[in-house]
Structure 1
Amino acid sequence: MQIFGIGIHIIVAIFFAIHAVRNHREMYWLLVLFLFPLLGSIVYFFAVFLPSSRFDQSAARAGRALQASLDPGREVRDAQRAFELTPTAHNQMRLAQALLETGQAAKASEQYDACLQGPFARDAELRLGAARARLAGGNVQGSIALLEALAAEQPGFRTEQVGILLGQAYAAAGRQDEAGAQFAAAAHRFGSLEARAELAIWALANGKPQVAEPELEEIERTRKHMPGHSRKLNAELFRRVDAARAQAR
């Protein structure tokens, strides 16, 4: 099939090439996409595009939540076993993520910091995970340093997630104006439940009800029409919003 005389597989390859450039992916992807447009596009979709998409993130989060409810320690055990058998950077990152998701921030940070000394030190996913672990473990300045560098060097990488986490880190450091700017930018650009909730929580905590109210209205509208399983998945976020609203009264 052709559009304007150009094969659809070429158009798809061009789309993924633009995505690769905008997100500062390795330049060998351009070679793969243009030398093998059909096969290269398929590989890029599953290896890069899908893992970075919001749908994939939501599905992965739901899957992890289900697994955690059935066997809370399984992923940590599996990741630990995999790392002991094959001590690669990939397996160490998997272990760090598993530790972080089970609330073991200090141990997770140790694993992430070890990865940051290796050949994947500039990997965006690694740096984002390390920043999360540092913030959860109380190393606020270390988290800010990683996030500011990541945002400057790879501005197209998970802009919403990086902005929200940076806002949380700024808030924890007492840099409230910068925190509010990050939350507002994420909420206005993406309009997601998480971004709106973070902006509302920050605004309520800082005596800015005029900023919080529009976000709270939209959050309640979303919660009202959200399926039951989605409400369960976002239960902690809703709990934080309700607690912030109660505290502000």
Structure 2
Amino acid sequence: MPIFGIGLHVLIALYFGIHAIRTGQNLFWLMILFAFPLLGSVVYLFAIYLPELRGSAGAQRARRAIRSAVAPGQALREARGAFEQTPTVAARLRLADALYASGEVTEALTHYREAAQGPFASDAAILFGLARALLASGEAAEAKATLDKLFEVDPSQRANASLLYARALSEASAPDAEIRAAFEAALGPAKDAEARCRYADWLAVREDAADREKAQALYREIVKDSSFWHRHAHAINREWLARAKAATR
């Protein structure tokens, strides 16, 4: 179906081409997309776009937001009921996650601490949840120590917890070089809006003018990229977009 004289499959290929450039994909994908717009778009969708979307922090937030909107409180009620019926470590972790998602951080932290005892003290899911709740409770130094332990137990968790680690370092007043390196790692190829905004917030209050200029560049990137976001991306990144717009006025 032509739109403004351009085939829809070409527009889709164009969208994926922009995505490939912004996320640092191999330029080979551009050749595939524009040499074979329809087939190339289908291949890119399943090979790159969907796996990245499913694994991104933004996608995880979107899934949580959708579940909360469809049935607010249901996940917490079910998790609490399951734990009361069978108080296993797995049920406690499920309850802690549900409490955290509902904003009940203090109670969530209590359950994460309990779950992190004994033989489950090195469980990656528990350590991640514990670190997240600690940071939300203002215990940045302990959150950093917990994340250090998590990365030692499972180095692959660095990708999933990179922004959390950067925030822990920042709030624990670690050396600037460590904080900077952690935020750079958190940006990654996908450049999540939250990661860019939080890094920009940190850079914006540095004494170096170059840091403040970089902060402005990151804010502008978020505003510019928002024109390519789908509806759910706008919903989950509303706070970061608003902060970026306010910072660039």
Task: Please confirm whether the aligned pair reaches a TM-score higher than 0.5, indicating the same fold.
Answer: yes
Higher relative contact order by CA 8 Å / sep ≥ 6: 1 or 2? 2
Does residue 1:232 correspond to 2:231, yes or no? no
CA drift of 1:149 comes to: 1.8
For 2:221, which of 199, 218, 221 is the aligned residue?
218
- 8 Å CA contact retained: 1:113, 1:130: yes
Equivalent position SS for 2:65: helix
1:80-114 C-alpha deviation (Å, 9 max, x unpaired):
00111111111111100111111111110100000
Q: 1:221 deviation in Å?
A: 2.2
Corresponding residue for 1:39? none
Partner residue of 2:169? 170
Q: Evaluate the alpha carbon distance shift between residue 245 and residue 135 of structure 1 in structure 2; reply closer, same or farther with a 3 A threshold.
A: farther
Conserved 8 A contact 1:200-1:213: yes
Question: Which amino acid is 1:107 matched to?
Answer: E
Unaligned stretches of 5+ in structure 1?
1-50
Aligned to 2:83: 83
- Cα distance in 2 for partners of 1:245, 1:140 equals 29
CA deviation vs aligned residue, 1:99-154 (integer Å, no higher than 9, x gap): 11111111101000001004222111210111000111122221111012222342
Match status 1:139 vs 2:139 = yes
Aligned residue pairs total 196
Shift of 1:198: 2.3
Distance (whole Å) between structure 1 residues aligned to residue 101 and residue 88 of structure 2: 20
Does structure 2 conserve the Cα–Cα contact (< 8 Å) formed by 1:116 and 1:126? yes
Contact 1:112 1:129 (8 Å CA) reproduced: yes
Which range moves more in the overlay, 189-198 or 99-108?
189-198
TM-aligned CA distance change 1:71 to 1:127, over 3 Å:
same
Residue 14 of structure 1: aligned partner: none
Q: Residue in 2 aligned with 1:18?
A: none
Q: Deviation per CA, 1:17-36, whole angstroms, max 9, x where unpaired?
A: xxxxxxxxxxxxxxxxxxxx
Gaps of 5+ in 2: 1-50
Q: Could you say what secondary structure the match of 1:119 adopts?
A: helix
* Kept in 2: contact 1:204–1:245 (CA 8 A): no
Aligned equivalents of 2:160, 2:204: Cα separation in 1: 21
Residues 214-223 or 187-196, more deviating: 187-196
Native 8 Å contact 2:203 2:215 kept in 1: yes
Identity fraction in percent: 34
> C-alpha offsets along residues 193-232 of structure 1, whole Å, 9 cap, x if unaligned?
3332222122123352222133223212221111122101
- Normalised by the size of structure 1, how large is the TM-score? 0.69
TM-score computed with the length of structure 2 as normaliser: 0.69
Query: In structure 2, what residue type is equivalent to 1:174?
Result: S
Task: Name whichever of 98-107 and 66-75 sits farther off.
Answer: 66-75
CA RMSD of aligned residues (A): 2.7
